[in-house]
Amino acid sequence: MTITLVDRYVYTALRRVPEQQRADIDRELRGSIDDAVDARVEAGESREAAIERTLLELGDPDRLADSYAGRRNVLIGPELYGVWRRLMVTLFSTVLPLVVVAVAVVELFNDDVTVGSVIAAIVTTAITVSVHMAFWTTGVFAVIERTGLGQADLKRAWTLDDLPKYEPGALSRIDFGATLVWPVLVIAALVLQQFTFTDEPLLDPANWSFWWPTLIVLIALKCVWAVWVYRLGRWTRPAAVANAALSVVTAALMIYLLTADRFFNPAFTGFDGADVDLEGWVSLATIVAVALGALYDIVDVARKAELARKGLPARIPGTGNTYSVS
């Protein structure tokens, strides 16, 4: 028996259809093809050309088979995509940074730690954890999509409370995560420099009697402030005042120690003979950086709070549009 082009197309489609449905779909599909070919032939096309054009219009036989079998063509459908996307954003903005920081801290306690080994550990961990989180999370959602198990729990009814609050400068999840991660990194660096890297710490160890613990408390309070602002959902004057107080006190503490030559450790010898004047231009540059950083932070938060209070136009995050808050 000669296998025709139509036979090849039908056989290809039927191989992806459950066996009990093949006979019915075979008759239906061949009937549709024959009708379309006959119509083209009556319109003046040759039978060979009519067959080719008919099959091309039907498209990929595998996709056609999926439509006959009621099989999904997507890994995650629209019903679960929103939940999957929100979970992925949360994992990558919170879990991933925390895991990377934890690995970096553990690596710093190794006896043979180097800058290269720390960077390698951070990069390797970030890539590995990212791949695993994306793969396993997507895999679980794909199973849920096809089996239906747990879909009722994931598909909760949408309400108006789910609408984002488009308010000037409100902390996003990413901003919130970054605001928490950086203070943790600074505190970790402050503590670890005392015990790792070199025989002598970079910062003056005499300050552990009072000043360094005080600085750690102030940095931790910044994290508390970020949680408060995030829960508020918008910038307010009290939030701006609290931020300004924290920034001024923290900057004043650091500038006092720098100007009194009590910030850096005079016995530090970790620059391998390089001419680095810690009590001169390094201290001056640090003072300028601290003062400018604190000033920018105070002005930026105050500006956002004022925009929220007055309802002035501000840009919608991720768009070029503006809006007003009443």
DSSP secondary structure of 92-106: IIIIHHHHHHHHHHH
Question: pLDDT value at position 2?
Answer: 65
Of these ranges, 156-160, 218-222, 286-290, the one predicted with the greatest mean pLDDT is 218-222
Of the pLDDT bands very low, low, confident and very high (cuts 50, 70, 90), residue 295 is: very high
| Residue at 17: amino acid letter | V
Q: What proportion of the chain, given as a percentage, has pLDDT over 90?
A: 8
- Report yes or no: 198 and 188 within 8 Å, Cβ to Cβ: no
Q: Which residues pair with 264 in a beta bridge?
A: 203
Question: pLDDT value at position 150?
Answer: 62
Question: pLDDT value at position 111?
Answer: 62
- Angle made by CA atoms 309, 311, 316, in degrees to the nearest 5: 115
- Record the tokens describing residue 99, joined without a space: 């895991």
Q: Indicate the domain borders of the chain.
A: 5-69
C-alpha separations of 154 from 77, 150, 211, 221, 310 in Å: 13, 7, 49, 36, 39
**Range of weakest confidence among 16-20, 112-116, 139-143, 217-221:** 112-116
Name the pTM for this structure: 0.48
Of the pLDDT bands very low, low, confident and very high (cuts 50, 70, 90), residue 325 is: very low
Of the pLDDT bands very low, low, confident and very high (cuts 50, 70, 90), residue 246 is: very high
Question: pLDDT value at position 324?
Answer: 47
Phi (first) and psi of residue 78, to 5 degrees = -65, -25
- Report yes or no: 139 and 157 within 8 Å, Cβ to Cβ: no
The CB-based long-range contact list for 172-179 (8 Å cut-off, 24+ gap) reads 172/317, 173/89, 173/90, 173/93, 173/94, 174/89, 174/93, 176/226, 176/230, 177/93, 177/94, 177/97, 178/97, 179/222, 179/223, 179/226
Of the pLDDT bands very low, low, confident and very high (cuts 50, 70, 90), residue 326 is: very low
